Structure 1
Amino acid sequence: MAVDLTPIARIIAAEIGAKPAQVTAAVGLLDEGATVPFIARYRKEATGGLDDTQLRTLDERLSYLRELEARRASVRGSIEGQGKLTPDLAQRIADAVTKAELEDLYLPYKPKRRTKAEIARERGLAPLAETILADRTLIPTDLAARFLSAEVPDVKAALDGARDILVERFAENADLIGRLRAHMKAHAVLRARVIAGKEEAGAKFRDYFDHGEKWSAVPSHRALAMLRGRNEEILSLDLEVDAEDLNPVKPVERIIAQVIGIAPAGGPGDAFLRDVARWAWRVKLSLHLSIDLMTDLTDRAEEEAIRVFARNLKDLLLAAPAGSRPTMGLDPGIRTGVKVAVVDGTGKLVATSTVPAARLPGAVKSTSSATTVGVAKVVLPNRTREVVAMVRRGLFEAAPRLTRRSTTVVGSIGKTSRKKRSARISEPRRIS
């Protein structure tokens, strides 16, 4: 199914600080099979100058938002096919900005296996649940006595069935799930414990044999270490919520009561519903939300690890390329001009420019005079012999002290196929 690109382009444009037209152009190139490095290097004119960082974010968000739109259409179609799509629900589906929010809305309408709640409905207990929920002044045990049958032999069985129906309803309430998720993100504690008998085998994870810290503040390296310990079956990981709260009614239960409208000191029906809320949290909501938060933690830790590795790699790549010798790098292009950059002996960037090839000697002179580093080495990419010869002539004309041994020709780095996300890197080789 085709997805309208216009709203996606606007969203991504706002996120990366670009214009929708730039995003649309980049999306077109990606859809044709071009890779991010290729577009960043060779298609700047088409994208209006989007850089590598912007394009990577664009690529990631494009995939996510397209999946979100496809899922939105699927959810809407499923609910509409059931004859349960109301204008309010349609608007909420249209306004959902994350996959989690969309799935929360879809949960009550998702096809299910035969649950306890479904069995209770088949036994005619749905009216009992609705009556308890509607009129809290009525006594649930008295109401339950009216629903006895061969399949519901006693009052307890009737109330258990009503509870199962209400638990499912509470667990599928999108507003309730959203509030509980926010509460858990703010207050949950990630608890790691060693699995009995694995102390010796898991000695490298000893720091996490009995470890706990707030979910929202776990650094990526510790999160990844604990997740690795769990994958190796050394550690067990759990999310604890309000474990230190000594109040008999936990905050999560109060949130459920507020959303459902259960009075703290109401009638007999409220007392029954408070027990249902407690049970819904224990058997449904806590497990569902814990899985969500652990998934979020894994994604967050991996993204931060990638950022750290990227920063470290950037430092390595930007280290002084020729030791303590100031170096000039040239990227010649007949159509786009020659890009010139100069770094000092510490690897610090001190000058850049882009000039037509015919003006290269003058540009080299001005670039060299604008810096006090005294360029001792020049690096050229491995292009055609004609281009290399042209650049060398310009260099020797601009700076006679530079000899052929002062120049090094290296292979193009990051030159990527349109179809494959792989780069072929050549070792530097000297052309004498």
Structure 2
Amino acid sequence: MLNISQLLATELSLQSFQVTNALELLAEGATVPFIARYRKERTGEMTETHLRGLFERFAYLTELEERKGSILAAIAQQGKLTDELQVKISACLQKTELEDLYLPYRPKRRTRAAIAKEKGLESLAELIKSLNTPIAKPRSLEEEAARYVSSERGVLAIADALSGASDILAEEMADKATLRAYLRDFLLRTGVFTSRIKGDQAEGSTKFEMYRQYQAAVKSIPSHNLLALYRGETEGVLDVTLDFDEQTVQTYLASQEIHTKQPEIRSFYQAMLKDAFNRLMKNSLLSEVRTIKKQEADIESIKTFEANLRELLLSSPAGMKPTLAIDPGFRTGCKVSALDQTGQFLEYQTIFPHQSANQRNQAAQTVKHLLEKHQIELIAIGNGTAGRETDDFVKEVLKTLDKKPIAVMVNESGASIYSASPVAIAEFPDQDITVRGAISIGRRLQDPLAELVKIDPKSIGVGQYQHDVDQKLLKKKLDDTVESCVNYVGVDLNTASKELLTFVSGISAAIANNIIAYRNDHGAFRDRRHLLKVAKLGPKAFEQAAGFLRIRDGKNPLDNTAVHPESYHLVEAIAADLNVPLTQLDQFAEKIKTVNLKKYITDTVGEPTLRDILAELEKPGRDPRAEFKYATFMDGVKEISDLKPGLELEGVITNVANFGAFVDIGVHQDGLVHVSQLADRFVSDPTQIVKVGQVVKVRVLEVNEQLKRISLSMKLGEMKSSENPVSSQLPIPAKDRPPTAKPQAKPQPQTQLKQHPTSPTLEDLQAKFGKKRS
């Protein structure tokens, strides 16, 4: 069998010790964030991305080895396991190749070949095989077949005998692993997906209009196009076929299987090969190719979802400040909730600023009262229905105040899902669903990560065909992304919700509940070591979690840093040598560059960990997320009817797909910046240019008010994106924060057939993917 560790080292270009140590840590119960952050010496500084890739491939190969064992046992039980076959099976690196090898020995239903064998025709098939050689002497097939005619065995004519022999040879040929592998690859290389609209539906009558007459090469079809085809097929709108040159297939099979020049034998084999392919191979191979391409599309779509979710979760927090959260509405009014600087709910009011002038005045007085009463510093306004109108109302109120809170439009995607969820009900059992929604909007502004982890990522609105991809894989990847983001930022142990704590390394849902219970019973944690008093949180869980949990104003200043408790003694030694007391961590920055790392290296702690410690001491307790920025929507532009070509606006990226980016420009309908309009150069991967939550400036290219389609461009010449100070900023001193980790670039998509370009038109894409804000 395979040496999995050595194979992984070779495949992933790693050293043997990296693979061995990483797998040992995994077996010991260590999490990916913990290994990547606190065990760099053992893994050679492998990143989270490298570790997850290693563990996924390890799991695949482990499953493969288990499958090999069961297959070898099954073949051996049949008495058909040869040394050659065992070597081939043992050397397999892919599940598809392994199943191809097993196919001839897999238990089958009572096939035509099996029936022919029951009639005693197997020896005739073997005779015909012996005649299919360059040196075989000519013999009459009909004369040979005549010997097998027997009413007792059910062979009533010569044709029946030859047909039965053909069935036996066809099944044998169709089960050959080498032929199946070649033909599968042939379909992947040369096949063409073709679609058409079913029935006589009028042009423009379906959301799959761009696929009415569509073709794309199998090898290069973009993932979003393939998923759209499969969805259209599932919904009964599209007929999707995978076309290929069948004559080329027959020519190849003949070249591999026909070895004689005898016309009679060649004719027999040609007919047999055609039957074997059409009856026994074609449908299964087409299905396999479709499955392979679906898996590739799923992975590509999920990668995009992961990247968008990461950027959204790592959105800059406005800060834990007193906040007034407003869930806008026309007829039912605006729901207003006041939150304190820890996100705790204070009180709730309903105002009606969009009814009569008298009600608008009353609403203004209510807002002023709440602002003053709770010393509000932030105002969060949901961007759904009545969002822009409510934003204008708030601006009017703020003009009358000397001390003006900062008002920000907040993406409320998924807030309604949260407000009706068991999580929200448990948090606020006595509050109405609308109150919970407003609270969520406010908390999203204070700390997006802490609030968004309470919502199923699929409800946040940053995915692409998220309901069409492999749901098990999607959940795993999104959970990994949330875990990565939570541990990257760190969690305030004394304010974190159960949902947030659950994603901390080493903490299960049960332990998270126990932490909350301990906090409620004993008050705020003052020392990381007190975690060991929490039920079910033992030394292993403490090891995994402690470095990612923060305690502000605790007994030990290091408890509010990413320094792990196991390394406190090193910091104490460094502090003593620098003559800086731990209570004055801010003074470390001035002297940190004079530290000689080699002085503190031990058998278990090397330079990587020491570098991390010094980096943390240089800026203790810093938030790694970027500086907070927010978009300012243009006054007077509230509806799609207010847009005109050439108009330049500020907006926020709400979703990034393979074909471009969607931008909220404050008109309740996201506009699309097609990939060709993202920059003045060729862009193969939109995530290289934009990310979810980024503030950008765009120019309106085209507006179709009837179909609610908005085409935008970021080719603004003298205008710049949010990488420059074009957007409004909160006065948060975070210039030194490191940039958010960016996802790896995806490979450049290949082009389609000439008659159907890879990139769909702006109009078609917006018809399919454009999001209307409700």
Same fold (TM over 0.5): yes
Following superposition, the deviation at residue 240 of structure 1 comes to 1.2
**Structure 1 segment 251-400 matched on structure 2, within 5 A:** 251-263=248-260, 266-313=262-309, 331-333=561-563, 335=567, 361-363=587-589, 380=622
Q: Equivalent of 2:178, from 168, 175, 178?
A: 175
CA contact (8 A) 1:104 1:174 kept: yes
Alpha-carbon distance in 1 for matches of 2:302, 2:117: 50
**Other-structure match for 2:160:** 157
Q: Equivalent of 2:223, from 217, 220, 223?
A: 220
**Other-structure match for 1:166:** 169
1:155-181 deviation digits (Å, cap 9, x = unpaired):
221121111111100111111111112
Alpha-carbon distance in 1 for matches of 2:225, 2:589: 50
The alpha-carbon distance between structure 1 residues 168 and 19, as it changes in their structure 2 partners (threshold 3 A), is same
CA contact (8 A) 2:194 2:214 kept: yes
**Structure 1 segment 219-258 matched on structure 2, within 5 A:** 219-242=222-245, 250-258=247-255
CA contact (8 A) 1:202 1:234 kept: no
CA contact (8 A) 2:561 2:620 kept: no
Alpha-carbon distance in 1 for matches of 2:139, 2:273: 18
Following superposition, the deviation at residue 32 of structure 1 comes to 4.1
**What percentage of residue pairs aligned between the two structures are identical?**
38
The alpha-carbon distance between structure 1 residues 35 and 362, as it changes in their structure 2 partners (threshold 3 A), is closer
**Other-structure match for 1:10:** 6
The alpha-carbon distance between structure 1 residues 362 and 110, as it changes in their structure 2 partners (threshold 3 A), is same
| SS in structure 1 of the partner of residue 194 of structure 2 | strand
Return 164-173 or 22-31, whichever deviates more. 22-31
2:347 paired with 1:105? no
Alpha-carbon distance in 1 for matches of 2:32, 2:198: 44
The alpha-carbon distance between structure 1 residues 237 and 34, as it changes in their structure 2 partners (threshold 3 A), is farther
Task: In structure 1, give the amino acid aligned to 2:622.
Answer: L
**Other-structure match for 1:347:** none
Alpha-carbon distance in 2 for matches of 1:379, 1:25: 30
Task: In structure 1, give the amino acid aligned to 2:144.
Answer: L
Alpha-carbon distance in 2 for matches of 1:237, 1:27: 44
1:79-104 deviation digits (Å, cap 9, x = unpaired):
11211111111111112111111111
CA contact (8 A) 1:132 1:138 kept: no
Alpha-carbon distance in 1 for matches of 2:202, 2:39: 55
The alpha-carbon distance between structure 1 residues 219 and 275, as it changes in their structure 2 partners (threshold 3 A), is same
Task: In structure 2, give the amino acid aligned to 1:51.
Answer: T
CA contact (8 A) 2:586 2:620 kept: no
Alpha-carbon distance in 1 for matches of 2:141, 2:590: 90
CA contact (8 A) 1:12 1:62 kept: yes
**Other-structure match for 1:78:** 74
The alpha-carbon distance between structure 1 residues 378 and 43, as it changes in their structure 2 partners (threshold 3 A), is closer
Following superposition, the deviation at residue 222 of structure 1 comes to 0.6
| SS in structure 2 of the partner of residue 17 of structure 1 | coil
1:220-276 deviation digits (Å, cap 9, x = unpaired):
111111122222232232221116xxxxxx11112211222345x533111100111
Following superposition, the deviation at residue 40 of structure 1 comes to 2.6
The alpha-carbon distance between structure 1 residues 272 and 406, as it changes in their structure 2 partners (threshold 3 A), is closer
Alpha-carbon distance in 1 for matches of 2:126, 2:178: 20
1:6-50 deviation digits (Å, cap 9, x = unpaired):
821122223333222222232233334443334333443443322
Following superposition, the deviation at residue 124 of structure 1 comes to 0.7
2:36 paired with 1:40? yes
Alpha-carbon distance in 1 for matches of 2:238, 2:561: 52
Alpha-carbon distance in 2 for matches of 1:128, 1:112: 22
CA contact (8 A) 1:180 1:255 kept: no
Q: Equivalent of 2:117, from 105, 108, 121?
A: 121
CA contact (8 A) 1:138 1:269 kept: no
Task: In structure 1, give the amino acid aligned to 2:242.
Answer: L
Q: Equivalent of 1:190, from 189, 193, 206?
A: 193
**Other-structure match for 1:209:** 212
Aligned residues: 348
Task: In structure 1, give the amino acid aligned to 2:143.
Answer: D
Task: In structure 2, give the amino acid aligned to 1:69.
Answer: E
The alpha-carbon distance between structure 1 residues 73 and 114, as it changes in their structure 2 partners (threshold 3 A), is same
Alpha-carbon distance in 2 for matches of 1:133, 1:303: 44
**Other-structure match for 2:135:** none
1:273-322 deviation digits (Å, cap 9, x = unpaired):
01111111111111121111111101111111122233444555677777
CA contact (8 A) 1:8 1:62 kept: yes
**Structure 1 segment 56-95 matched on structure 2, within 5 A:** 56-95=52-91
The alpha-carbon distance between structure 1 residues 255 and 311, as it changes in their structure 2 partners (threshold 3 A), is same
Task: In structure 2, give the amino acid aligned to 1:145.
Answer: A
CA contact (8 A) 1:205 1:229 kept: yes
Instruction: Name stretches of at least 5 consecutive residues in structure 1 with no aligned partner.
Output: 244-249, 324-328, 339-355, 368-376, 383-404, 408-412, 414-432
The alpha-carbon distance between structure 1 residues 224 and 34, as it changes in their structure 2 partners (threshold 3 A), is farther
Task: In structure 1, give the amino acid aligned to 2:155.
Answer: V
Instruction: Name stretches of at least 5 consecutive residues in structure 2 with no aligned partner.
Output: 133-137, 320-488, 490-559, 572-580, 594-618, 625-731, 735-739, 741-774
RMSD (Å) for aligned C-alpha atoms: 3.6
Alpha-carbon distance in 2 for matches of 1:113, 1:167: 16
Which aligned segments of 4 or more residues in structure 1 are displaced greater than 6 angstroms?
Answer: 197-202, 317-323, 356-359
| SS in structure 2 of the partner of residue 203 of structure 1 | coil
Alpha-carbon distance in 1 for matches of 2:202, 2:176: 42
TM-score when normalising by structure 2: 0.41
Task: In structure 1, give the amino acid aligned to 2:148.
Answer: F
**Other-structure match for 1:146:** 147
Return 188-197 or 224-233, whichever deviates more. 188-197
CA contact (8 A) 2:174 2:280 kept: yes
**Structure 1 segment 403-414 matched on structure 2, within 5 A:** none
Alpha-carbon distance in 2 for matches of 1:235, 1:67: 37
The alpha-carbon distance between structure 1 residues 35 and 225, as it changes in their structure 2 partners (threshold 3 A), is farther
Task: In structure 2, give the amino acid aligned to 1:333.
Answer: V
Task: In structure 1, give the amino acid aligned to 2:10.
Answer: A
**Structure 1 segment 10-29 matched on structure 2, within 5 A:** 10-29=6-25
CA contact (8 A) 2:89 2:98 kept: yes
Alpha-carbon distance in 2 for matches of 1:331, 1:364: 18
Following superposition, the deviation at residue 200 of structure 1 comes to 8.9
**Other-structure match for 2:131:** 135
Alpha-carbon distance in 2 for matches of 1:77, 1:202: 56
CA contact (8 A) 1:378 1:406 kept: no
**Other-structure match for 2:628:** none
**Other-structure match for 1:247:** none
Task: In structure 1, give the amino acid aligned to 2:125.
Answer: A
**Other-structure match for 2:523:** none
